[in-house]
Structure 1
Amino acid sequence: MPTSTDTAPEALRARMVDRILATQHLTPPVEGALRQVERHRYVPNAPITDAYNEQAVITHTFPDGTHLSCASGPTIVAAMLNALDIQPGHRIMEIGAGTGYNAALLATLTGTDGEVTTLDINADVTAAARRNLDTTGFHNVRVITRDGAEGAPEHGPYDRIIVTVGAWDIPTTWWHQLAPGGRLVLPLRWRGTTRAVALVKHDDHWESDWMFLCGFVPMLGQPGEHHATIDPQHLVTLHYDTDQPVNIDALQNVLNRDKTTMWSQATVGSQEPFDRIWLHLTTVDDGTVRIQADQQAITTGLCTPAIATRSPALVQHDSLAYFTIRRLHDNPGHWQLGAIGHGPTGEQLATRIVEQIHTWDHDRTADPHLAAYPTGTPVPPDVQGKLINKPHTRLYLRY
C-alpha cells in the first residue's frame, strides 16, 4: 500500500525520536539506534502509525484478556536504554523478549563484538521475537524460552542486564550473573508503585543512580502482591505486598466510618506530575498501599482518590487514609492536594499523608536513594533507610 511522505516509516520514526528528545536527554548512540531500528517491523499486525506513537502495543494476551506481552512505549524504552549505558562489545541479558524490538536496539548498541541474550517464559512470545529478529537481520541475537528468574548463566557473566517485564523482586540469580560493576535496569515494584530503576553492582549490594515512573506487564512467577475489596459492593480494592500485615477483615466497610478530609498548601497545574508523593510515603510508612476505586464509588462519593485506578493510601489495622485532589475554582487549571481518612485513626493517617505532600513540595523532582542487598548478604549496621523485605532482596529507601 502506498504511503505519503508524512506516514512513511522513516518520517514517523524521526518524529518519534524528536518527540522523545523533547522530554529527555539521550546519548548519541541511543538516539542513533532508535532512528535506525524499524519499530513497525516488530509489530507487523499493528497500524504503522501505532508503531511509532507513544503507546504500548499489545502483542499477546491470556485467554482471560490480561496482557502477556507487548511492545513498550518508545519513551520508557529510550529512558531505560539510556540508563543501561551500553558500550560496544558488552555482553547483555534481557529478561522479557517481547517483540524482539528491544533486543534489536541492544544488539545495535553493543555492536558486532557484543552479545545479546533475550529470555521469555512463553514459547509463543519467543517464537515471534525470533521471527521478527530474523526478518530484520538480527540473527546474532540469542533467544531462549525460559523463566527469566533463572537467567542464562551458560552465556554469562553479563556486563548489563535489562528487565522489560514488571519485577516485584530481584532474583539472586541476576546478582550472580552480572559482572562486578555491571548495571541492572528493571521496572521494580514496591508498595503498589512501579519505577524503572538503574542499579549498579557493588561488592555486596546494588546502588540506584536513576529512577523513572513506568508501568509494565508483570513478570510471571512473582506473586508478591495481594488484593482485596473493602466495601460490600466490591467497588474499592486495596493492593498490598505480602510482607505487609494488612487486616482486610478489619477494614471492611471502613469507608463508611468516621471521615476526615485534610488539605495541604500544595497545588499542581494540569500538566504537573505528583507521583513522587507515593515514593515519599514508601520511605517513611510501612502501611503504604495502593487503592483503586471503580467509577461508581467515585460518583457516589464513597471513595475519591486522586487517580481512580492507582493512588497511594495508608492503612493501620481498622483505619485507612488515601491521597486525593480537588479542583480550585478560583484558580482554573489547578488542583489542591490532600488526604481523606476513615476509621478510628483515619485523621492521624491523613495527617501523615499531608506531611509527605509538604515534604515533596519542597523538592518535587527528588527521587529516593535505593540500596538492595541480596538475601544472605550481611547488611552493614550503618545502612540507613526504610527496610522493605522481599524473598530475594532487602530494599533500603531513604531521601
Structure 2
Amino acid sequence: MNTTTHSSPEVLRNRLVDEIVEERIAGLYDPRVEEALRTVPRHEFLPAVSIETAYANQSVSIKDNPAEDALPYSCASKPDVVFFMLVQLQLDEGHRVFEIGAGTGVNAAYMRRLVGASGLVVTGDIDGDVTAYARKTLDATGFRDVDVITRDGVLGAEERAPFDRIIATVGVWDPSPAMQNQLRDGGRLVLPLRWRGLTRSVAFVRQPERLLSDSVKMCGFLPLIGQDGERTGYVDDEHLIRLFWDDDQAIDPTELTTAVSQPGTVAWTEASVGPVESFDGIWLRLSATEPTTCRITVKPAAIEAGLRRPAVPALSPALVDGNSIAYLTLERMTVEEGTEARFRIGAVGYGPRGRALAGRLCDQITVWAGDRAAEPVISLYPAGTPDYELTDGYVIEKPSARMVISY
C-alpha cells in the first residue's frame, strides 16, 4: 500500500508535470495533454508503490519476468515519455482511439479525458492479468466507460474500427495489417517502433498508399509479446557481451568471441558532445545506411577485463560483419579548468575487418555532426508493395510492411 508522505498527491503530481513541461525532452508540447496529466491520479493506478514513486519520473513494473536479463512483462511507462507520445497522437474531442498494451490503465484514462464524452477509448492486452489490473484501476478511478479487451494487440479491434487514432504502449517490431488498415485516412498511428536494435516513438499519418512519419523521438518500451523477428545472443561464454539484431540480418555473435578477446582498433572523428548532449541521431543514420547495424550491450565486468567501453554500455550501436565488429565509443577530451567537460566520438573495431567497420561508423558520425537535429522520414508500405511504388531510401523488410528510411 502507499506509504505516508508529507506532500499530497496533488502537490507531487503537479511538481512532476512542471518538470516534464520544463524539460520537454522531445521538444513537444500540448496544453490539453498537460491538463490530463495534472488531473488523472496516477498514484491510484499504482497502489502497490509509494506516492513518491508513483510521481517520480520513472517507469514502474507491475508484472516481472523471472528470466535471466529479461525485461518485465508489463509496466507503467515513464511519465515524460507518456506525455510526448500523447502529444504525437494529437487527440481531439470525439476521436475514436485504440491502445495496444493496457498496462496499468492510466494512459487510457488520460486519453479518455482528451477525447471527451463523445469519443471512444479501447485498450487491449494479450495478458489477462494485465487487462484485469487495468479494468480494476479504471473502474476504481471513474473511467468505467473505457473498453478493456483481452487479445493480441496486433489484431486490433475490428469490431470497433475504423479508428481516428491508434497508439501502442509496447515496442512494435512488425506493424501489423490491423495497425495499418483499421486507421482512417488522415488518422494518426503512434508506435514505439523497433528496428536494428533501437526503439523510437514514431508518429505516422495515414495516407492512401502508405503511412508517413512526421515525428521520430527517442524512447524505450517493453517489446510486444508474440513478435519474434528480433534476435539476441551472447558473444562470450560469461554472458557479458550481448548483441541484438533482426532476423533479416546474417549475424552470429559466437563468431566474434575470438575478435573481442584481442586488442581493438580505435578511430576518432572531430565530433564531440557535452555530458548531457544527445548523440542518438548517429544510430538512426546508421540504420538508414548500414545493413549490418545492430545493438551491443556490455556488462561492467567485460570493460574491467579490457574491452573498450561502448559509448553507452547498456545500448550502443554496432556494425557486424562475420567475425568482425565495430561500435560507438567516447573519450573525455582535455579542456580548460572551469569549462564543461566534452567527449570526442569515435568507433572501436575488433576482428579482421574491424578497422574498416570503424571507419564506416565514423563516416556516419561525421555526417550526423553536420546536422544533429535532422530526423529521418519513415514510410510504411504494405508487404508486397512493388519497388517502383516506394519512395527513395533504405528499405527494411518486415513481415507485414516494407519500411523505408530516408533523410
Shorter-chain TM-score above 0.5:
yes
Q: Counterpart of 2:129?
A: 124
Q: Counterpart of 2:75?
A: 70
**Residue 2 and residue 165 in structure 1: after superposition, are their counterparts in 2 closer, same or farther (change >3 A)?**
closer
Q: 1:318 aligns with which of 323, 328, 350?
A: 323
Q: 2:148 aligns with which of 119, 138, 143?
A: 143
Q: Counterpart of 1:16?
A: 16
* Aligned-pair CA distance for 1:10: 0.9
Residue 61 in structure 1 maps to residue 64 in structure 2: yes
Distance in 2, matches of 1:116 and 1:197, equals 20
Deviations 1:300-339 (A, max 9, x none): 2224211111100101122111110111244562111100
Q: 1:298 aligns with which of 275, 295, 303?
A: 303
Larger deviation, residues 154-163 vs 382-391: 382-391
* Aligned-pair CA distance for 1:119: 0.2
Deviations 1:2-37 (A, max 9, x none): 653xx1111111111111111224212111111111
Q: 1:40 aligns with which of 39, 43, 50?
A: 43
SS at match of 1:391: coil
Deviations 1:126-150 (A, max 9, x none): 1110011011111100000111111
Q: 1:392 aligns with which of 388, 391, 400?
A: 400
Residue 349 in structure 1 maps to residue 350 in structure 2: no
Distance in 1, matches of 2:13 and 2:239, equals 44
Contact conserved, 2:199 with 2:218, CA < 8 A, in 1? yes
**Residue 338 and residue 63 in structure 1: after superposition, are their counterparts in 2 closer, same or farther (change >3 A)?**
closer
Distance in 2, matches of 1:251 and 1:213, equals 29
SS at match of 1:67: coil
* Aligned-pair CA distance for 1:374: 1.6
Deviations 1:149-194 (A, max 9, x none): 1111001110000000011110011112111111000100110010
* Aligned-pair CA distance for 1:258: 6.2
Contact conserved, 2:5 with 2:52, CA < 8 A, in 1? no
SS at match of 1:266: strand
Larger deviation, residues 45-54 vs 226-235: 226-235
1:128-277 residue pairs with structure 2 within 5 A? Answer: 128-257=133-262, 259-277=264-282
Q: Which amino acid aligns with 1:19?
A: E
Residue 309 in structure 1 maps to residue 317 in structure 2: no
SS at match of 1:306: coil
Contact conserved, 1:90 with 1:160, CA < 8 A, in 2? yes
Contact conserved, 2:234 with 2:254, CA < 8 A, in 1? no
Gaps of 5+ in 2: none
SS at match of 2:345: strand
Distance in 2, matches of 1:233 and 1:28, equals 50
Distance in 2, matches of 1:317 and 1:127, equals 46
Distance in 2, matches of 1:375 and 1:327, equals 45
**Residue 151 and residue 30 in structure 1: after superposition, are their counterparts in 2 closer, same or farther (change >3 A)?**
same
Q: Which amino acid aligns with 1:345?
A: R
SS at match of 1:138: coil
Distance in 1, matches of 2:126 and 2:358, equals 42
Distance in 2, matches of 1:229 and 1:390, equals 24
Gaps of 5+ in 1: none
Larger deviation, residues 247-256 vs 85-94: 247-256
Distance in 2, matches of 1:141 and 1:128, equals 13
Distance in 1, matches of 2:390 and 2:82, equals 36
* Aligned-pair CA distance for 1:393: 1.2
Larger deviation, residues 66-75 vs 249-258: 249-258
Residue 93 in structure 1 maps to residue 101 in structure 2: no
Q: Which amino acid aligns with 2:159?
A: E
Contact conserved, 2:236 with 2:254, CA < 8 A, in 1? no
Residue 31 in structure 1 maps to residue 39 in structure 2: no
Distance in 2, matches of 1:148 and 1:198, equals 18
Distance in 2, matches of 1:94 and 1:49, equals 27
Q: Which amino acid aligns with 2:326?
A: A
TM-score (norm 2): 0.94
* Aligned-pair CA distance for 1:376: 3.0
Q: Counterpart of 1:112?
A: 117
Contact conserved, 2:185 with 2:206, CA < 8 A, in 1? yes
TM-score (norm 1): 0.96
Deviations 1:20-60 (A, max 9, x none): 11122421211111111111110011110111111001111
Distance in 2, matches of 1:247 and 1:271, equals 34
* Aligned-pair CA distance for 1:354: 0.8
* Aligned-pair CA distance for 1:256: 3.0
* Aligned-pair CA distance for 1:213: 0.7
Contact conserved, 2:166 with 2:183, CA < 8 A, in 1? yes
Q: Which amino acid aligns with 1:374?
A: P
How many residues end up aligned between the 2 structures?
397
Distance in 2, matches of 1:395 and 1:382, equals 9
Distance in 2, matches of 1:104 and 1:252, equals 48
Distance in 2, matches of 1:293 and 1:129, equals 35
Q: Which amino acid aligns with 1:53?
A: A
Contact conserved, 2:240 with 2:302, CA < 8 A, in 1? yes
Residue 372 in structure 1 maps to residue 380 in structure 2: yes
